[in-house]
Amino acid sequence: MADGTRMLAGLLAGGCLLAAALPLPGPALAGPAGDAAAPADEPLTYCAGAAAGRRCSASLLQPFADNRGGQDRVTLTLTRGGTCDALHIAFDQTIMLDQPVWVAAGGPRLEFAAAGRARPGGPAVAVKEPRQAALGCAATARLVQAARSGLPVRLGFQVAPRGITTVYHWPGLAQREVALPLDRLADALDRAEAAAKGVAAD
């Protein structure tokens, strides 16, 4: 996850809300204040560190329909450090960087910029790479608030063609949309952080 760490570090150091970068977690594992055996459809949480140095994460595998009547998945990870919540998205296949990747919550779409490309007027608040994307603190906070108020949050992107299907690739067939249950992730993160604080107090 080193590339993901650098990607989110660029967001945060670029003037989002934190001076230091949050390390992006790998698959959520049981650990200090972690979920030892969460149900398959429930977020897995993990907390480490203490006081101002505490970092917590909540991860969830989110399925979505493909164009063949099957399902693919994205891994959503909400990471908290201090007052910043940041979102990391891992795709289970390569996405097309020359096509829009966006997120929306009942309003205008926020488009992700390719990693390393500065947006006009300031640093990027959302960046994308072939197998992952990351959203900075302020944008994540707005989406979590929207989700908690009942607005549907959706992610849109296009998957890259595979092998021989490249010859017969139609962009419309590559389009995907995924519901992002950020309210569930944020609630799980709140519980994990509260549990971690309780363990520290003991």
Q: What is the pLDDT of residue 36?
A: 39
Strands 71-81 and 126-129, bridge-based pairing: unpaired
Q: How many residues does the chain have?
A: 202
Q: What is the largest CA-CA distance in the chain?
A: 62
Q: What is the pLDDT of residue 6?
A: 55
Q: What is the pLDDT of residue 175?
A: 85
Q: Which residue has the tokens 């998945």?
A: 73
pTM score of the predicted model:
0.76
- pLDDT tens, position by position, for the chain (202 residues)? 455 445 555 554 443 332 223 333 433 333 334 443 444 578 999 999 887 788 999 999 998 877 666 778 899 999 999 889 999 999 998 999 999 999 999 889 999 998 776 555 555 688 999 999 999 999 999 999 999 999 999 999 998 876 554 445 555 667 889 999 999 999 999 999 999 887 655 5
Instruction: Return all residues near 8 (Cβ < 8 A) that are at least 6 apart.
Output: 21, 22, 24, 86, 88, 134, 136
Rounded distance between C-alpha atoms, residue 46 and residue 199, angstroms: 13
Token pair for 172: 């419309």
Rounded distance between C-alpha atoms, residue 82 and residue 96, angstroms: 33
Q: What is the pLDDT of residue 38?
A: 45
Closest CA to 86 of 194, 179, 12: 12
Q: What is the pLDDT of residue 151?
A: 95
Q: What is the pLDDT of residue 174?
A: 75
- Which DSSP symbol is given to 8? H
Q: 2-201, what's its fold?
A: Immunoglobulin-like (2.60.40)
Q: What is the pLDDT of residue 198?
A: 78
